[in-house]
A and B are shown apart, each in its own frame.
Chain A
């Protein structure tokens, strides 16, 4: 069985790079190959231009934070953080100084004498981070390090990690299945699925211009509409006809041709409800459709509508709650408008 195939990325020095994917997508295996705990049958890993695939983990000079923290339970916080320095035979005075700096970095001053079992999960996490950074590794690898923390602490640690990374200019390779985490922290993200990379890009690129249906689905939320390409009114633009006669334009993720079965994706917040009477915008500049509000859920910052399109299925619409914007009641008929630029069209293979 192949866990990972054809994974090839270049990661800029000093950047925060995330491998994002569902479980079993090969993201952890990829990280373990960088770390040296898994071995690629073919291929090479370069760190600072040096091939390291043949080196054992201890020779790679990479810091690693594990999902379970792996803070040594028999050593104090000080000895845990001093561990990589003692291995490198750093002088005692320098160890003292550098452990002190590392403790300050993760804001655990005064914790040096404590044992791991006297620390909370978040504190152990910081010890693991300090320990992985104290020997100034060339790259910091992190395997779902925040997975075990509660939601609030996790959000806090995400920002703190990001600040530390910026402060130290250290290159980070981060593994997570949490898309929000990936968007919050990363400079660039690789979305993985079934052992290969679906798309690499900045969080905005991935969200606004997903190159596959999987990315559009996994990252954030999308409405999917199946249809067939009927024409190309402008270069790069395609006209799609969906079931029920609904026609709309969109941007092709890959080159398409007329007659090809496709799936179009639109983010719920890109759909704008317009009053039926005003729904007369010139066709071509915007896509429009009509439907009936099936469900309206007030969520505080937004209201979510489920709009039935008759034979064309249904759309989820997310509207920010602002003064002057009318709430639509259930059963009311509405028109929806959205931009062709925000409509991504992917080839559909199952048809």
Chain B
């Protein structure tokens, strides 16, 4: 009896969240799914999906979106893991200061930050001026409106997510494990490779998953910093909504994006076995 009343208590606590999710997430999502298979004056049809399949440009964009997301995830990991490691091993005072620096960008609008990058990376931007002044480049390098620009911008925006996720796991690793490894004869590299790295895997798994999924739906940065050939799926959806006003087709694209994200998640879970990884921390 107490168990049941306890369960009821939990349900009561969850109720506001459930209601908000139902009203603002599940209901619109069903609306999108419904719209994607409904053609005005025709009725229910899979025409929109067929169109995505038929016209090569859509599949190219979807494939490109996955490619960009995968690369951004890799870059974020390559930059974020060492940074998180530094934060986790520094003295708490210094680490706190650095952590503020990592989080600071979140206080500024993403549009402002993207424009700032455009100022830095433009043909007459600060970066090119320095490169030429140092004699490393003879003419301005093309750092903007291409895939490189998208990569730089997206990696920059998503890096904190990677750092924070990996850092939180690293912070939970008992320093006694590393000491134990040393006492057993492991060099610093061996202790890292055989003990710290495996124990930080949940952070790598969580961070890469988070960054990858966020990348898939990215819009502002690729729209502003990419070139005509760096269209991502979210930009396609925006175009259908804003310019062609073909909301049904936009809905179909959105559903495809959602499906692919879910498939990606499940596939990833298969490879990394998230449940086991997270369990192993206990």
**Which A residues are within 8 Å of any B CB, using their own CB?**
35-37, 56-58, 61-64, 66-68, 70, 72-74, 83-84, 87-88, 115, 117, 128, 131-132, 135, 141
Contacts and interface: CB of A to CB of B under 8 A. Distances in A.
B268 to A, nearest CB: 20
Given A66-B176, A83-B194, A56 B182 contact: yes
Given A83-B194, A117-B282, A58 B187 contact: yes
A58 B280 contact: no
23 contacts: A35-B183, A37-B182, A57-B183, A58-B184, A61-B185, A62-B183, A63-B183, A68-B176, A70-B176, A70-B179, A72-B177, A72-B180, A72-B195, A73-B199, A73-B281, A73-B282, A74-B198, A74-B280, A83-B186, A83-B194, A87-B184, A135-B184, A141-B183
Contacts of A88: 185
Interface of B: 174, 176-177, 179-187, 190, 194-195, 198-199, 201, 279-282
B183 A135 contact: no
Contacts of A141: 183
B192 to A, nearest CB: 13
Contacts of B181: 72, 83
Contacts of A73: 199, 280-282
Contacts of B199: 72-74
A87 B190 contact: yes
B179 A57 contact: yes
Main DSSP-derived SS at the B contact region: helix
Given A83-B194, A87-B190, A117-B282, A70 B174 contact: yes
Which 6 residue pairs across A and B have the least CB separation, nearest first? A70-B180, A84-B184, A64-B183, A70-B176, A57-B182, A87-B185
A70 B185 contact: no
B165 to A, nearest CB: 19
A130 to B, nearest CB: 12
Contact of B180 (A64, A115, A135): A64
Given A73-B199, A83-B194, A132 B183 contact: yes
B196 to A, nearest CB: 10
Contacts of A70: 174, 176-177, 179-180
A141 B279 CA distance: 31
Given A83-B194, A87-B190, A66 B180 contact: yes
A326 to B, nearest CB: 55
A29 to B, nearest CB: 14
B148 to A, nearest CB: 38
Contacts of A128: 180
Contacts of A63: 183-184
A88 B176 CA distance: 21
Contacts of A37: 179, 182
A131 B181 CA distance: 10
A140 to B, nearest CB: 10
